[in-house]
Structure 1
Amino acid sequence: MQIERLEIPDLLLVKPAKHGDHRGFFSETFRADVLVAHGVEAIFVQDNHVHSEQKGVLRGLHFQVPPHAQGKLVRCMRGAILDVGVDIRVGSPTYGRHVAIELSAANWHQLWIPPGFAHGYITLEDDCEVIYKVTDYYAPECDRGIAWDDPAFGIDWRLPASEVILSDKDRQQPRLADAAAAFQFVR
């Protein structure tokens, strides 16, 4: 398993090895010791599995506020997604910046998104499945979001807005400048 720090150093690209032969393949998709060696001492409490039938389904940008903030380790099991993490920690040198990484069944990569980041993804193909581990349980009273198309972020979602499929909830999220600050940067 290889780990790469991204442009925002708290976000990590995780590249599990995949060993195949005529029978199929084997892969260790999670190793706590490898993550700990890269500064991630997360305890995962829940796995989530999402299926999206169509290309263009956008889920996000979501996060949970304390005391139930979540870190996420995201991977795409079927199809391909563009996965995005946005730094929303007030005072961070990368506040308001984002990283966008393609995760797919073909590349087998994962993205670590720690608490303090908004997270979202768009399906790049029909019939996508995403699985992600989280560090706290879903808490509806702590559930928040930021507008997926906030011009302050400049996210290239790879599809025109007219082709993006959103939930009603995600259509109504505020821009970062209009949202209550949820996280403070601490080093």
Structure 2
Amino acid sequence: GEEERKTENKYEALESKLKGRHFTYSEVLKITNNFEKVLGKGGFGTVYHGSLDDTEVAVKMLSPSSVQGYKQFQAEVKLLLRVHHRNLTTLVGFCNEDTYMGLIYEYMANGDLENLLSGSNRNVLRWDMRLQIVVEAAKGLEYLHSGSKPPIVHRDVKTANILLNDKFQAKLADFGLSRSFPVE
């Protein structure tokens, strides 16, 4: 509804203002308040909560030791700078300074689908919400396959890579393994 449009417009405004913006490491420190709040840890680094122009963001910082992570970082930046869809995570900007590499995304308040379907969270999502999430994730995937030129194959679709915003809108994330396939 109206509230969802406001949130979406807030990210669109931030995205169009900063699209592809390179942030310095000191700006990242400010955005994350010195990496105060950890949202999660993965194979290639840590995700922190941040704030940018009064908008919540998630900052994924790569471990300097991760060479594979660097390749995926580059792939993800390239890809996310050229795709735009309401069911794909929005890249607000990135940091690539010395050994500091980070991706700044819109904040997804309800985390990932894997977490919401497991453990004590199992009953949080009603069946109609689950169906809506599946449809939205499929729309994001369909856009990658048919709407982007050249087509993109995600190669890592799983519940951990389906993120949900404050309104439980689903967005595909983690494009580090994605590949473009030129069409002959």
> Which TM-score band (shorter chain)?
0.3 to 0.5
Bigger strand share: 1
Bigger helix share: 2
Larger RCO, structure (CA 8 Å, separation 6 or more): 1
Structure 1 length-normalised TM:
0.33
Structure 2 length-normalised TM:
0.33
